[in-house]
A and B are shown apart, each in its own frame.
Chain A
């Protein structure tokens, strides 16, 4: 049984068309899964079911052996979520205060909170900026701060919603490096994107979503040739029949 199990998941926003249609998915521990698809294909909606921000109209979401609806707080602790817009994810006035937000919500002892904040900041290389005001950070630093905020809650699964949007080359490299570190630490990582170029080399599995359904699911090499049928640009190297190269040196 996978750490994430979705069964017959259906969801529609009130008054709107179905956004997820009969989605079935099983993801095993420690894998890096890329979910691609055009805008409106249901990627973000799917991610928001993993920590109970959205609850399905029908079907079940099971995280680490337990349905999300049974204990939403547990699901939110186990599934760390990085949103598309890092700026609106940052809650704290300073870098340290933002990272402490999650552990404080878990009602941990103040000394434990300090330890987790220090460890999370060290993990993303932001220790020196602990007292910095968050609005003065660069785009890449804001994403790293969002990752630190997630790490401080010690999740088993980390999901990234379009993590490379609006980032320059160094910023993208920083975020990519953090994603790879998370994978190496044994966590399950899910990344949604419509820009496969940067992440495909590292993915263990590629899932394509279209109109609320999973239309392709497999090893990246097997799936990547068909992605343009579903509104996702095929990586340049793969188009030219070459082997996809790592994006991060």
Chain B
């Protein structure tokens, strides 16, 4: 069965798990914005904090790295691109390629920032169940008029629900075609057509059945709003974090 293991919720009873999802989202935005403007010292401080958080949450670092291997490749590409294209004092210079000291530093900072934001996102999704994230988005859309927020929340839920199902169908369709020797056909257009038609038909049929099942359970846009409660501790954490990050930004 196809599974998405990175960026998935790990149930637990830590203080971060118990924190109000809106506060966690606000913190995520605040830290991400701070990271974008932070220098090496601030990044180092935040990295230490983040490592402490990952250890506290008992997140499996090894499997996280394995899950994020394609993202690591992206980071390497970003670093190389920066190092090669930023002008400055040459660190290594050959006839074809010149790597500048400024380029290496700029590349390292960008990669560091991107890695921190992704790890923060991972800590957020690992400690927040999808229904809570959906509830927070629904709550945040409340002040915006003419937005069908219940429908948007349901669409988010269905998206999260359907992605693994679609991956399973994708892998089953590919296996079924391999079993019938599709690999012997070299024409990519032929292969794509033969693959996409049954796959899309199956996906649409699944969507139809899902819609029918939702109807059978009285689905409408008029639904119970999710219950969200922020404690004094949540507000305290948010205020302290805001003060801390404003200080980092100013320094």
Stretch at the interface among A9-17, A132-140, A178-186, A213-221: A132-140
A-B contact count (CB 8 A): 101
The interface bits of chain A over 91-112 (1 if a CB of B lies within 8 angstroms of the residue's CB, else 0) are: 1111011001111111111110
Interface membership of A73, Cβ < 8 A = yes
Scan A22-42; emit 1 where CB is below 8 A from any B CB, else 0. Answer: 000000000000000000000
Are B213 and A88 in touch, CB under 8 angstroms?
yes
Q: Dominant SS at the A interface?
A: helix
**Contact A135 B165, beta carbon cutoff 8 Å:** yes
A102 to B209 Cα, complex, angstroms: 16
Distance to closest chain B CB from A27 (angstroms): 19
Complex: A105 Cα to B225 Cα, angstroms: 10
Chain B interface residues (CB < 8 Å from chain A)? 1, 3, 8-9, 11, 129-131, 134, 157-158, 160-161, 164-165, 168, 206, 209-210, 212-220, 222-227
Q: Which 3 A-B pairs have the closest CB atoms?
A: A110-B227, A88-B209, A135-B164
- 8 Å CB interface, A74-126 against B: 76-77, 81, 83, 85, 87-94, 96-97, 100-111, 113-114
A163 at the interface (CB under 8 A from B): no
How close is A176's CB to chain B, nearest CB, in angstroms?
A: 22
Count A-side interface residues using an 8 Å CB cutoff: 40
Using a CB–CB cutoff of 8 Å, the interface residues on chain A facing chain B are 51, 53, 73, 76-77, 81, 83, 85, 87-94, 96-97, 100-111, 113-114, 131-136, 149, 153
In contact, A131 and B9 (Cβ under 8 angstroms)? yes
Given contacts A83-B213, A96-B131, whether A90 and B161 have CB atoms under 8 Å apart is yes
Q: From known contacts A97-B130, A131-B11, A133-B9, infer whether A53 and B215 are also in contact, taking CB-CB under 8 Å.
A: yes
Instruction: Tell which of A51, A83, A105 touches B209, judged by Cβ atoms closer than 8 Å.
Output: A83
Closest chain-B Cβ to A99's Cβ sits at a distance in Å of 10
Give Cα A66 to B158, complex, Å: 33
